[in-house]
């Protein structure tokens, strides 16, 4: 038995070695979920899985960095660097850049400025940041009927598109649209092993992307 497997309890070892079928790990904070992810990746590589076919998705850059650091401590540098680790947004930015060559994201200041213009145009007494939060909810699966200011959200998106800009939520949506238009446009070497940290936090758009 590999040394790292001996550091795991029985349930953790089972989650690590049974990688050929879907697994859902349910555990509390501080119970070793990230260690299990790290060990599962290491075990897959020992079993001959191509590191380039493995992707580990997180919700924050901090979590991605922590997982990357743990892998570098557990694996040879070449193997650790070949595993794809990042957030949903960084993955989608990489995919879109590969397809389009250039993707321009709206910075926070620019997004707030556009939101302010929309609010002034419509005469709404709402903070620009609050409007952006509502737009984000809409793009992440909320129905238009559930929005407080659907017209403002639509106008914001129109102005963003007019400037040929994307926001972070657009990254996921644009990847889904590109895939629906032409699945063959994406790299021919798909990810065979997909690991998601904090899977329970996935929203409808992220879940659709995973599928």
Which two structure tokens, joined as six digits, stand for 13? 């070892």
pLDDT-based confidence at residue 143 (cuts at 50, 70, 90): confident
* pLDDT of 200: 85
Rounded Cα–Cα distance for residues 168 and 134 (Å): 14
* pLDDT of 76: 84
114 φ, ψ (degrees, to nearest 5): -65, -40
Rounded Cα–Cα distance for residues 3 and 13 (Å): 12
In 3D space, the residue among 186, 26, 65 whose CA is nearest the CA of residue 56 turns out to be 65
| pTM of the predicted protein model | 0.83
Helix (H, G, I), strand (E, B) or coil at 40: helix
In 3D space, the residue among 14, 10, 40, 15 whose CA is nearest the CA of residue 25 turns out to be 15
């Amino acid at each position: 038995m590999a040394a790292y497997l001996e550091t795991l309890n029985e349930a953790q070892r089972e989650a690590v070695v049974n990688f050929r079928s879907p697994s859902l790990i349910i555990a509390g904070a501080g119970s070793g979920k990230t260690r299990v992810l790290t060990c599962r990746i290491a075990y897959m590589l020992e079993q001959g899985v191509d590191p380039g076919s493995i992707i580990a998705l997180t919700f924050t850059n901090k979590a991605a960095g922590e997982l990357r650091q743990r892998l570098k401590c557990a694996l040879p540098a070449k193997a650790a660097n070949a595993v794809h680790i990042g957030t949903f947004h960084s993955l989608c930015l990489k995919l879109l850049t590969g397809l389009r060559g250039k993707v321009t994201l709206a910075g926070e200041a620019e997004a707030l400025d556009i939101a302010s213009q929309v609010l002034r145009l419509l005469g709404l007494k709402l903070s620009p940041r609050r409007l952006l939060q509502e737009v984000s909810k809409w793009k992440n699966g909320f129905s238009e009927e559930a929005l407080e200011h659907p017209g403002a959200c639509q106008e914001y998106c129109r102005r963003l598109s007019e400037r040929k800009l994307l926001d972070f939520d657009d990254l996921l949506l644009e990847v889904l649209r590109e895939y629906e238009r032409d699945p063959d446009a994406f790299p021919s070497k798909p990810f065979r092993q997909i690991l998601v940290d904090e899977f329970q936090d996935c929203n409808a758009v992220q879940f659709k992307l995973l599928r």
